[in-house]
Structure 1
């Protein structure tokens, strides 16, 4: 099924596909997967080859474009763009506590285990056979989307003509625990940068932390605001323009009233907008599993945090933000995650996750791959990215300190243009 739309300078077509939840049981339970095709407005644009975009996450729907700009503008010069809502997100049988409330915890965990990169790639291959008549297409992955690109190269390279990765080259073999040992150090560095740039921020955040420790303050979604929740704002300090957003929010956090200091209602509303745990549960449920291969995560971020006691806030210590780490207490404090608590623990304890990568296959890769590695990326350890880049055949990378993790969102036209030139052996501009 498809529906046509006209956006600013773009023709868009909505596609829906009915696909198996479990590809080992193709006639079993089915899900709907949604993709939005973008093309230019000239007649020849309707016959261009496809480039498929894999969104970061896991657990987030594809971007909803408003106009022909950014990386999409560059892509449409030679491609049709397919924005894929990965299964469980956007309009692709979205996962929420309500959508799986009819299942018990064990059934929920089994159901959710089908929402990793391996099945996202199986969905993409099924869609390629349908929408592209089996022709090869190009792929672009941002952050977790880069994990999907490597999985595609591993599982179905015959479907690909080119591949591009921004901000997301994963380790092929390191477990979640090693990943977090590296990323906690990066988060410490970003904290130092943040509090150096905004000298009064430490005072502002500690005043707020002290206030919420002694008062029942409720955020816009109803939960009590805790210090641990407040630390989660740190996921934004690893993004371009993210530190500014966090600081300006802190500036307005407390207001004076006749009854004494109170938390600004504006802060409580905007706080929820900067965190996605209530609205995108797959991120919390499956984030650590994206690293798991025949092993359990066992709440790796929580375990590694015990080595970094400086993140355990006390009134006489500096306040530190955390990063994109997921913790078991999410499922005790966030309203829409509480019903999934037992399923989350079962997923964290799951030891039989399939292997994701065959390193011998990847070293022999023949598909041209161009990747942007951001040396200052808070979310991805540069050394692990370089380690993987050396282990994947036909991969060329551009190492730069110009961008944070969300570089493609901020300067996507330029970044994609460089990567296309890199893949084509052209002079970088």
Structure 2
């Protein structure tokens, strides 16, 4: 099924595909997978190759562009862009406690095992077979989308002409524990940068932490605001313009009223907008599994945190933000995650996850790959990315300190242009 429309000066075609939940049972339960195709007005009548975009996450739908800008503007010069809502996200049979409440926890966990990168790639290949069965296409992955690119190179390189990665080259072999040990160190460094840059921020966040520790404060979605929740704002300090947004939020957090110090309702509303755990449950449910190969995560981030006691806030200690870590208490404090608590524990205990990567296959890769590796990336360990880059055939990379993790969102036209030139051996324009 498809439908056409025009917005932001671009031609957009909406595609919906019925695909197997479990590719081992192709005639079994089906899910819907949505993709939005974009083409520039001047290229509408031309037969152009596809560039498929894999969104970061896991658990987030593809971007919804409002204008012809950034990396999309560069891509549309020579491609039709396909924005894929990965299964379980956006308009692709979205996962939520509501969509899963008709089955028990064991069935929920089993259902969710089908939402890793392996099946995202199977979906993409099934879609390619319908849209352009006799052609290879190009792919671009940001963050977790880069993990999907590596999985595509591993599982179905025959479908690819070229590949691009921004901020998302994973380790091919390291356990989740090693990943989080490196990540906590990076988050510590970002905290140091943040509190040095905004000299009164430690005072602001400490006052707020002390207040919510002593008073029952409810955020706009109804949950009680805890210190642990406040620490999650650290997701933003590793992004371009993220530190500013966090600081401006803290500036307005507490107000003085006739009844004494209160938390500003504006803060409570904007705080919810900074966190996606209630609206994008796959992130919390499956984030640690993206590192799992024949092993269980067993709540890796929570266990590794015991090695970094600096993050355990106590009165009189400096406050520190956390980063892209998922903790079991999410399923006790976030309203929309509470019904999925048992399923989350079953997924954390699952030890028979399939292997994601075959080292020999990737070493002999023939698909041209160009990657942007951000040396200051809080979310992806640079040294692990460089380690992987050496193990993947035909992978060229651009190592830069110019951007944070979301660089493609801030300067996408330049970044993609540079990667295309790198991949094709062209001079930079």
Structure-1 separation of matches of 2:104 and 2:315: 41
How far off is 1:8 after superposition?
1.5
Q: Does the 8 A contact of 1:141 with 1:168 survive in 2?
A: yes
Partner Cα separation in structure 2 for residue 45 and residue 404 of structure 1? 37
- Residue by residue over 1:344-385, the C-alpha shift from the partner in whole angstroms, topping out at 9 and shown as x without a partner, is 000000001000000000000000000000000000000000
- Kindly state the Cα deviation for residue 126 of structure 1 after the two structures are TM-superposed: 0.1
Aligned mates of 1:229, 1:250 — CA distance in 2: 14
Between 28-37 and 3-12, report the one with greater CA deviation.
3-12
Partner secondary structure for residue 222 of structure 2: coil
Distance across 1 between alignment mates of 2:51 and 2:98: 33
8 Å contact from structure 1 (residues 39, 45) kept in 2: no
* In 1, Cα distance between equivalents of 2:46 and 2:225: 50
Match of 2:373 in 1: 373
Distance apart, 1:45 and its partner CA:
5.3
**Alpha-carbon distance between aligned partners in 1 of 2:312 and 2:127, rounded to the nearest angstrom:** 46
**Match for residue 352 of structure 2?**
352
Matched residues in 2 for 1:414 and 1:398: separation?
Answer: 13
SS at 2:141 equivalent: strand
The yes-or-no answer on 1:128 pairing with 2:121 is no
- 3-state SS of the aligned residue for 1:261? strand
Could you report, residue by residue, the CA deviation over 1:20-49 in whole angstroms, capped at 9, with x for unpaired residues? 000000000000000000001125554110
2:311 aligns with 311
Q: Structure 2: which 5+ runs fail to align?
A: none
Q: Which residue of 1 aligns with 2:42?
A: 42
Counterparts of 1:134 and 1:50, CA distance in 2: 12
Following TM superposition, by how much is the alpha carbon of 1:427 offset from its aligned partner in structure 2, in angstroms? 2.2
> Using the alignment, how far apart are the partners of 2:26 and 2:134 within structure 1?
19
Q: What CA distance in whole angstroms lies between the structure 1 residues aligned with 2:8 and 2:298?
A: 47
CA distance in 2, matches of 1:98, 1:9: 36
Equivalent pair of 2:11/2:44 in contact (CA under 8 Å): no
Distance in 1 between residues matched to 2:364 and 2:333, nearest whole Å? 46
Q: Which residue of 1 aligns with 2:264?
A: 264
Alignment of 1:105-120 (within 5 A): 105-120=105-120
Q: Deviations over 1:194-223 (max 9, x none)?
A: 000000000000000010001110000000
| Deviation of 1:227 (Å) | 0.1
Q: 1:224 to 1:44 in 2, by over 3 A?
A: closer
Cα distance between partner residues in 1 of 2:246 and 2:383: 28
1:375 and 1:339 map into 2 onto residues whose CA distance is 39
Matches of 1:8 and 1:30 in 2, distance apart?
A: 33
Question: Aligned residue for 1:193?
Answer: 193
Correspondence for 1:418? 418
Q: Look up the match of 1:395.
A: 395
* Closer/same/farther in 2, CA of residues 43 and 427 from structure 1, 3 Å limit: closer
SS at match of 2:41: coil
**Contact 1:39 1:46 (8 Å CA) reproduced:** no
Q: Distance in 2 between matches of 1:148 and 1:203?
A: 41
Which secondary structure does the structure 2 equivalent of 1:126 belong to?
helix
CA-to-partner distance for each residue in 1:252-307, whole Å, 9 max, x for gaps? 00000000010000000000000000000000000000000000000000000000
Distance 1:229 1:56 in 2: 22
Q: Secondary structure at the match of 1:47?
A: coil
**Residue 426 of structure 1: how far off its partner (Å):** 1.1
User: Per-residue deviation at 1:104?
Assistant: 0.5
**Counterpart secondary structure, 2:37:** strand
Matched-pair contact (CA < 8 Å) for 1:201–1:247: yes
Please give the secondary structure, in 2, of the residue aligned with 1:396.
strand
Query: Would you say how many aligned residue pairs link Structure 1 and Structure 2?
Result: 429
Q: Is the 8 A contact 1:147 1:169 kept in 2?
A: yes
1:388-418 deviation line (CA, Å, top 9, x unaligned) = 0000000000000000000000000000000
- Cα drift, residue 66 of structure 1: 0.8
Change (3 A) 1:44 1:213: closer
Structure 1 CA distance for aligned equivalents of residues 134 and 251 of structure 2: 54
Kindly indicate whether the alpha-carbon contact (under 8 Å) linking 1:74 and 1:413 is maintained by their aligned counterparts in 2: yes
Task: Give the Cα–Cα distance (whole angstroms) in 2 for the partners of residues 428 and 158 of structure 1.
Answer: 28
Structure 2: how far apart are the matches of 1:281 and 1:8?
Answer: 30
Q: Take 1:43 and 1:171, find their aligned partners in 2: how far apart are those partners?
A: 38
RMSD, aligned α-carbons: 0.7
- The separation in 1 between residues aligned to 2:38 and 2:119, in whole angstroms, is 24
TM-aligned CA distance change 1:393 to 1:60, over 3 Å: same
Q: Residue in 1 aligned with 2:172?
A: 172
Secondary structure of the corresponding residue to residue 38 of structure 1: strand
The residue number in structure 1 matching 2:25 is 25
Query: What SS is found at the alignment partner of 1:99?
Result: helix
State the alpha-carbon separation in 2 of the partners of residues 65 and 283 from structure 1: 22
Q: Mind listing any 5+ residue stretches in structure 1 that lack a counterpart?
A: none
